[in-house]
Amino acid sequence: MSSLSVRSQDHANAPDPCSIVFFSGDLNYRIDLNINETKKMLKKGNYSTLLKFDQLTAERSIGAVFKQGWHEGPISFPCTYKYDLGTVDTFDTSEKQRVPAWTDRVLWHVPVRVAPRHLLERVATKEIDDDESDEEDAIPSSSLSREHVIKQVLYTSEKRCTISDHKPVLAVFIVKNLE
């Protein structure tokens, strides 16, 4: 019996403290460009290029934070920070000249244990050689969350909110009940 099968049996009756984890808030990650370059890209709506300089995107790509199984929807909205108070789209004109950034984010994670039963059975009964690592033995949690458990249908910010130097982020999901 493989160690994976043993681990699956050990936890088969354990209470599941949560099925899906949502992590949202002001994560305070910034963009590694100067304010003028950032504003130019924002004005052109060139978010995909700007995201290449986003600290959270960079940290996730090297596995430093929000490791395997965490997801964030595509960002197709302007930066959520640093606006002048009372304005819809004026970025920091103060003396500090803070660089706009997507500091406000929503990420989610679906533990493998909430995967559909047929996938869990495949994992639990698969014969795996404990001495070798084989990528084809793994069922990526990203495929489980996207195809079987959760789908993000909206990820945007609310530009009309002007009482803060941040714009609130809104994320809407469809979550399947696996019971």
Q: What is the pLDDT of residues 47-98, one digit of tens each?
A: 999 999 999 999 999 999 998 889 999 999 999 999 999 999 999 999 999 9
- pLDDT, residue 107, reads 96
Q: Give CA 112 to chain center in angstroms.
A: 16
Contacts (Cβ under 8 Å, ≥6 apart) of 100 = 31, 35, 38, 39, 42, 78, 79, 81, 82, 91, 92
Q: Which domains does the chain have, with CATH numbers?
A: 3-175 (3.60.10.10)
Give me the phi and psi of 151, to 5 degrees please. -140, 125
Top pLDDT among 46 and 111 is at 46
Does 4 have pLDDT greater than 50?
A: no
At CA 151, angle to CA 145 and CA 155, rounded to 5?
120
Q: What is the pLDDT of residues 134-168, one digit of tens each?
A: 444 444 444 443 446 788 999 999 999 999 999 99
Question: 150 near 78, Cβ under 8 Å?
Answer: no
Report yes or no on whether pTM surpasses 0.85: no
Q: Give CA 166 to chain center in angstroms.
A: 19
User: Confidence band (pLDDT; 50, 70, 90) for 178?
Assistant: low
Question: 136 near 123, Cβ under 8 Å?
Answer: no
- pLDDT, residue 101, reads 98
Mean pLDDT over the full length of the chain: 79
- pLDDT, residue 18, reads 63
Q: Tokens 């949502």 appear where?
A: 22
**% residues pLDDT > 90 (the chain):** 59
Does 99 have pLDDT greater than 90?
A: yes
